[in-house]
Amino acid sequence: MKILTAEFLRSCVKPEDFPKDRLPEIAFVGRSNVGKSSLINSLLNRKKLVKVSRTPGKTRAVNFFHVATADPRLKNFYLVDLPGYGYAKASKSVLAEWGPMIEQYLKARPELRAVFLLLDARGTEDHDASTYAWLCDHVQRPVLVLTKSDKLSRSERGASLAAVRASFRLSEADRCAPYSSVTHEGRDELWQAIRDLVKRDQ
């Protein structure tokens, strides 16, 4: 994928802040320490577009990144970085506003074309399974991405993939792929999934 531009647009703390130009949107969600920022930087071939924090759970807003590519099927879209779950130490007042905003975005945003749920290839947690179930019931079936695959051997990666497919009861048609932000393994496959999902809804 040839990326022409990839730029941070804005951080949104309420739905009124969301972009209004109706471009397709691709959302990324996952546990706060799953390596979401690193994956997005790797996917967009940028080193520091998304800030990688040493403290998981720092993302407290819905962050929009405008991406333009040379692919005629995917000229302009927004990559949307959603706050991580299961780790963030936010106050109760912040969480009370944060949860409904994320839910509203996922359930009611007409521009949303696809959701990518990031899981740690070394093991999933209860939060992952409950998030997957909620997305399937209320939004759409997400594409599962197993991050940090470089930390596993080839045989361990195969076992991890098989375990996730079994525990999440995936069908043969459900996408689930390993990804490494270090080696960029899986980048082409992820771009192909984005192309397919955006094209499907056009």
Average pLDDT, the chain: 87
pTM: 0.89
| CA distances to 2, 6, 99, 177, 197 from 149, in Å | 24, 25, 29, 10, 24
CA distance 122 to 17: 36
Per-residue model confidence (pLDDT) at position 31:
84
pLDDT at residue 95 is higher than 70: no
| Segment of 31-35, 49-53, 83-87, 114-118 carrying the highest mean pLDDT | 114-118
Q: For the domain that residue 157 is a member of, what is the CATH number?
A: 3.40.50.300
Domain that holds residue 31: 3-200
Per-residue model confidence (pLDDT) at position 156:
94
Contacts of 90 (CB under 8 A, 6+ apart): 57, 60, 98
Return the minimum-mean-pLDDT range out of 42-56, 62-76, 165-179.
Answer: 42-56
Query: What's the number of domains the chain is made of?
Result: 1
CA distance 94 to 30: 19
The pLDDT tens digits for 192-202 are: 999 999 876 55
Q: Is the dihedral of CA 195, 135, 35, 93 positive or negative?
A: positive
Residues 81 and 106: beta-carbon distance below 8 Å? no
Mean pLDDT of 104-127: 92
Per-residue model confidence (pLDDT) at position 149:
95
> DSSP state, 44?
T
> DSSP state, 83?
P
Q: Residue 25 burial by CB count (10 A; 0-12/13-18/19+): exposed, middle or buried?
A: buried
DSSP annotation string for 93-140: HHHHHHHHHHHHHHHH-TTEEEEEEEEETT---HHHHHHHHHHHHHT-
Q: CB neighbours (10 Å) of residue 111?
A: 19
CA distance 68 to 13: 24
Percent of the chain with pLDDT over 90: 59
- Look at the block and give the residue holding tokens 């969600």: 29
